[in-house]
Amino acid sequence: MQKEKSIGIFDSGIGGVTVLKEIIKVLPNENYIYYSDSINNPYGDKSDNEIKSICNNIVKFLLSNDCKIIVIACNTASAKTADYLREKYKDIKFVAIEPAYKMVYDYAYDKPTLVMATKGTIESEKFNLLLKKYNNHKTFLLPCIGLADLIEQNKPNEIKEYLQEHISQYKGIIENVVLGCTHYPLIKNYIKDILGDVNFFDGAPKLAEHLRNILEADGLLNDSGSGNIKFIDSQNLKAKEDRFKAFIINN
């Protein structure tokens, strides 16, 4: 049955677990295949063509494993490949994360805002259209080159040093922080330690609602399944799977 097929979800590593976690809250009975492409991390510094080819291979793999819909749980991949993939796989729906900049417009427009994302996302045409449309004219853009990589490698000391060096100048100025990379919600506490009690904006909860609506409208909602999650890492790293599962269980 179509309904019982899995939801395919991917990122350049385990960052997309922050998206999956939100999805499970609204779709607890679906089955999932999560593809962690750690071998190609980071996507943020790669060319558009490289990312397209990498993501195309992942989508082929997920579809050959019976996925009914694909979630692109990576802002960089979404910005650079969502249109291409939708054009290429016309019968498949893609749900793509994007930096939650519209949420700032909706809920905290007048507050100074820091957008943290990969260089690839910040330079992308897609993000620049979003910025133009919802600009609050108090926005600072911070391409965090190398940060997703440190998070992927689970290096807390280097992450703290990185943040100290790159975001401490915004302390006392910034009130909103857009977490424009799916790895960044994993280091929310470190960001808070430096910037204080800022408002975080993360696209995952809205994406989860949107995914649910699409499945419902297409008659593909599985509300009686077992909620199985299959984790695949492109380097087959057991440590990744352990970290991934710990986040699902503990958060």
Contact footprint for ligand DGL (CB under 6 A): 11-12, 15, 41-44, 74-76, 118, 121, 148, 181-183
Give min distance, CB of 10 to ligand DGL, in A. Answer: 10
Minimum CB separation of residue 19 from ligand DGL in Å reads 9
Any residues with CB less than 8 A from the CB of 100 and at least 6 apart, and which?
A: 178, 179, 180, 201, 202, 203, 206
DSSP for the chain, written as a single string: -GGGSEEEEEESSSTTHHHHHHHHHH-TT--EEEEE-GGG---TTS-HHHHHHHHHHHHHHHHHTTEEEEEE--HHHHHHHHHHHHHH-TTS-EEE---THHHHHHH-TTS-EEEEE-HHHHHSHHHHHHHHHH--S-EEEEE-TTHHHHHHTT-HHHHHHHHHHHHGGGTTT--EEEE-STTGGGGHHHHHHHH-SPEEE-SHHHHHHHHHHHHHHTT---SSS---EEEEETT--HHHHHHHHHHHHH-
Nearer to ligand DGL, 12 or 81 (CB): 12
Among 55, 67, 144, 181, the one annotated catalytic? 181
* Cβ at position 32, least distance to ligand DGL in Å: 17
181 is catalytic: yes
Work out how close the CB of 90 gets to ligand DGL at its nearest, in angstroms, rounded to a whole number.
Answer: 25
C-beta closer to ligand DGL: residue 84 or 109: 84
CB of 194 to ligand DGL, least distance (A): 20
Determine which one of 55, 67, 74, 144 is catalytic.
Answer: 74
Position 135, amino acid: N
- Tell me whether residue 31 or residue 203 sits nearer to ligand DGL (CB atom): 203
Q: Are 204 and 99 spatial neighbours (Cβ–Cβ below 8 Å)?
A: no
Judged by beta carbon, residue 70 or residue 148, the one nearer ligand DGL is: 148
Vertex 203: Cα angle to 202 and 207 (nearest 5): 145
Q: Which two tokens stand for residue 192?
A: 């808070």
Q: Which is nearer to ligand DGL, 6 or 75 (CB)?
A: 75
Q: Which residue is nearest to ligand DGL (CB)?
A: 44
Please indicate whether residue 67 is annotated as part of the active site.
no
Beta carbon of residue 220, minimum distance to ligand DGL (angstroms, whole number): 25
Which CB, 39 or 217, lies closer to ligand DGL? 39
Q: Would you please indicate which residues are annotated as catalytic (active-site) residues? A: 74, 181
